[in-house]
């Protein structure tokens, strides 16, 4: 079991982030915020896919006006994504944002940040403060050499946290973003060692889904396995449902997400496979769409290793030539011809 890092707990609407609270999946809407109907539709799809927080960009006044309407139409806490304008942050807070994502480095005046903090305090809005590797510059606005960036990002974060704490604000979530896997791991470890606020994990500019999922899984998975990370977002140039699915898979692989649907385990296949396992697994996967329980089902190619490797499956099929052996929790329950494997499996699944 992953031992989660002890942190302060931060309330984002009805969702709690931090410590032993479940790691929260979030994603962002990718339709214009002013298109309220499409935005609401995408938010509802994200919730159905497993998001418990949804972030929306509000770059203009029209967006925060739309944000206020969207908040009233959905049943999930919304995060306003603000970059440069303190006014947008305050408008979003007044519009009902449960959390605001802010990069204080992008807001020039200290007074403006203090006004945002005061508004957040008044409306019980959480704030995620972020430092981004790409925006770390020296005093002459020159890019910083790689080896110095982690230290500077941490220094920057300390400065922001101090500003919020001096204003007696502690509903903070911290994030440090990089597009590099190793630096993402390193900076988040440093932040976890330094602060006891919940951490938002993500890898920026991760690419198309096929390019994004492995780097994201390595960076986020490494940190989560160490107990670091309280809310995650996988970034991919794709429909946010795909981001959510990848995030869910990362959490499931670490035992950090309680699935509600069946899990299908398939052996990697070798020359011992008694029948076409890819075809059989495809048929089982299709059949499992009708089941809405978190059952573990295994499809194994042979009886040499299959029964042992599938011993903790609720149901397993281990193939032999033209037939299949069915196992329930590691115990053999029947032998059926290949044509009867799927109907028998479904019958047994229904019993469970």
Task: Output the smallest distance, CB 321 to ligand SF4, in A.
Answer: 12
Angle between helical axes of 146-166 and 181-194 (0-180°, round to 10): 40
- Contacts of residue 38, Cβ cutoff 8 Å, sequence gap at least 6: 31, 32
Q: What's phi and psi for 89, nearest 5 deg?
A: -65, -45
The footprint of ligand SF4 (CB under 6 A) covers: 267-270, 272-273, 300-302, 304-306
Q: How far apart are alpha carbons 244 and 235 in whole angstroms?
A: 9
Cα distances from 331 to residues 211, 294, 307, 310, 325, in angstroms, run 41, 20, 8, 10, 10
Q: How far apart are alpha carbons 333 and 326 in whole angstroms?
A: 6
Task: Output the smallest distance, CB 272 to ligand SF4, in A.
Answer: 4
Task: Output the smallest distance, CB 317 to ligand SF4, in A.
Answer: 11
Residue closer to ligand SF4, measured from CB, 69 or 296:
296
Residue closer to ligand SF4, measured from CB, 104 or 306:
306
Query: CB nearest ligand SF4: which residue?
Result: 301
User: In the 3-class helix/strand/coil scheme, how is 136-164 assigned residue by residue?
Assistant: CECCCCCECCHHHHHHHHHHHHHHHHHHH
Task: Output the smallest distance, CB 309 to ligand SF4, in A.
Answer: 6
Residue closer to ligand SF4, measured from CB, 57 or 299:
299
| Selection from 208, 200, 225, 160 nearest residue 53 by Cα | 200
Residue closer to ligand SF4, measured from CB, 51 or 267:
267
Residue closer to ligand SF4, measured from CB, 239 or 305:
305
* CA angle (229, 127, 82) in 5-degree steps: 110
From its phi and psi, is residue 18 left (phi > 0), alpha (psi between -120 and 50) or beta? left
- Please provide the DSSP assignment of 112-131 as one string: HHHHHHHHHHHHT-EEEEEE
Task: Output the smallest distance, CB 177 to ligand SF4, in A.
Answer: 40
Residue 27 β-bridge partners: 54
Per-residue DSSP letter, 338: G
Task: Output the smallest distance, CB 250 to ligand SF4, in A.
Answer: 25
Residue closer to ligand SF4, measured from CB, 13 or 307:
307
Task: Output the smallest distance, CB 308 to ligand SF4, in A.
Answer: 9
Residue closer to ligand SF4, measured from CB, 107 or 315:
315
Residue closer to ligand SF4, measured from CB, 45 or 305:
305
Task: Output the smallest distance, CB 294 to ligand SF4, in A.
Answer: 23
Whether residue 189 contacts residue 223, with contact meaning beta carbons closer than 8 Å, is answered with: yes
């Amino acid at each position: 079991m992953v031992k989660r890092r002890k942190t302060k707990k931060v309330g984002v609407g009805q969702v709690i982030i931090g410590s032993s609270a479940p790691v929260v999946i979030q994603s962002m809407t990718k339709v214009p915020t002013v298109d309220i109907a499409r935005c609401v539709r995408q938010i509802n799809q994200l919730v159905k896919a497993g998001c418990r927080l949804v972030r929306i960009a509000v770059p203009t006044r029209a967006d925060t006006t739309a944000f206020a309407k969207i908040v009233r139409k959905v049943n999930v806490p919304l995060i306003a994504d603000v970059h440069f304008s303190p006014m947008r942050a305050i408008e979003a807070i007044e519009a009902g944002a449960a959390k605001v994502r802010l990069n204080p480095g992008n807001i020039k005046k200290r007074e403006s940040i203090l006004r945002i903090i005061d508004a957040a305090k008044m409306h019980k809005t959480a704030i995620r403060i972020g430092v981004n590797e790409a925006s770390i510059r020296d005093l002459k606005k020159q890019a910083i050499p790689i080896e110095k960036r982690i230290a500077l990002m941490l220094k920057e974060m300390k400065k922001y946290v101090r500003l919020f704490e001096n204003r007696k604000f502690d509903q903070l979530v911290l994030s440090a973003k990089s597009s590099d896997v190793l630096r993402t791991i390193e900076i988040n470890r440093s932040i976890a060692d330094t602060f006891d606020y919940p951490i938002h994990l993500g890898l920026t500019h991760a690419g198309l889904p096929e390019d994004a999922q492995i780097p994201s899984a390595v960076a986020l998975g490494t940190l989560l396995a160490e107990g670091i990370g309280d809310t995650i977002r996988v970034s991919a140039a794709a429909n946010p449902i795909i981001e959510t699915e990848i995030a869910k898979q990362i959490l499931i692989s670490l035992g950090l997400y309680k699935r509600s649907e069946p899990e299908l385990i398939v052996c990697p296949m070798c020359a011992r496979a008694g029948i076409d396992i890819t075809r059989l697994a495809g048929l089982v996967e299709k059949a499992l769409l009708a089941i809405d329980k978190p059952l573990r089902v295994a499809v194994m190619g042979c009886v040499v290793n299959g029964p042992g490797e599938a011993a903790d499956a609720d149901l397993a099929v281990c193939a032999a030539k033209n037939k299949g052996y069915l196992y329930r929790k590691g115990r053999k329950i029947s032998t059926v011809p290949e044509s009867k494997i799927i109907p028998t499996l479904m019958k047994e699944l229904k019993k469970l």
